[in-house]
Amino acid sequence: MKQRRIGNTTLEVSTVGLGCNNFGLRIDAGEPSRAVIHKALDLGVTLFDTADVYGHRGGSESALGRYLGARRKDIVIASKFGNAMDDAGTMKGASRRYVMSAVEASLTRLQTDWIDIYQLHRFDPATPLDETLGALDDLVKQGKIRYAGISAPGAWQLVDMQWTAHHHGYAALATCEVEYSLLARAPERELIPAMRKHGVALLPYYPLAGGFLTGKYRRDAPKPEGARITKGKRYEDMFMTDANWTRVEQMAAFCEARSHTLLDLAFSWLAAQPVVACVIAGATRPEQLAANVKAADWTLTPDELAEVGRITA
């Protein structure tokens, strides 16, 4: 698989990564997770994206720690902290005290000495930026993390964090996870220009719009049994608007005329964006992961990119 560098870091990762949010949901029945992890390694996937809250509060990290084994050194792990890890909502945030305890817990679950990319899951307005960034800088110096990042910030928040890091001489943010896809292009207005200016790489979540961009849905037809949107009305409300149905139908025709699938377009369009470091998507079966990897092989021409841009604008 093709490799690319993450922003201004020394890390190189596969074009397609593995989102691990489905791992650890049933921690004692881990065979599906192990099969997907091992398939990812066989396919050359080198970025595994997780978080302390994924699975059942630590379940995803624990699954990775259990099934990666000696292959941990061959891959890049991106994890996140800051969302609540207890029902009372006290184990959360970005204070120095919490950052230092959260990273130790993640390292233990992951069975590793370091996390390659450690990201604040949500901006924490209750904690001064210099406190959070100072803690992350100390973790870099201690070798417990290699780079820091943030998930879902506003453009001004990203710039504020980068300026604060520069002002204090702390390690700058290297990555930003944000919703970005053919149906979610809002980051192009402010956030992506800020990322380019400050050398921050984009790791897109919901690259398939909750599964809507897989091509398995048809307007006014029954939804496939067991699919994510079928099981959760939240995703239907988020993605299946009339405007998006029209875009998806136009993109499907675009793909069919070129002997490709909508899945191919969803991955390959993201891979064509210079700011995107790796297209991360979850998978519950090895064959699903293999399809995701293959989907990124389409090299879109400038004219094709322009046409897709007009469809999805």
Residue pair 282/19 in contact (Cβ under 8 Å)? The answer is yes
> Which two tokens mark 216?
């398995």
The widest CA-to-CA distance across the chain, in whole angstroms, is 56
178 - beta bridge partners? 204
State the amino acid at position 296 in one-letter form.
Answer: A
> Which two tokens mark 38?
């091992």
115 - beta bridge partners? 145
Taking CA atoms, 87 is separated from 53, 57, 92, 196, in Å, by 12, 11, 11, 38
Residue pair 144/180 in contact (Cβ under 8 Å)? The answer is no
Residue pair 275/202 in contact (Cβ under 8 Å)? The answer is yes
Does the active-site annotation cover 206?
A: no
Q: Where are the beta strands (DSSP E) in 61-126?
A: 76-81, 115-120
> Which two tokens mark 166?
């520069």
Task: Select from 4, 77, 14, 89 the least CA-distant residue to 44.
Answer: 14
Exposed, middle or buried, 101 (CB in 10 Å: 0-12/13-18/19+)? Answer: middle
Q: Which residues are catalytic?
A: 54
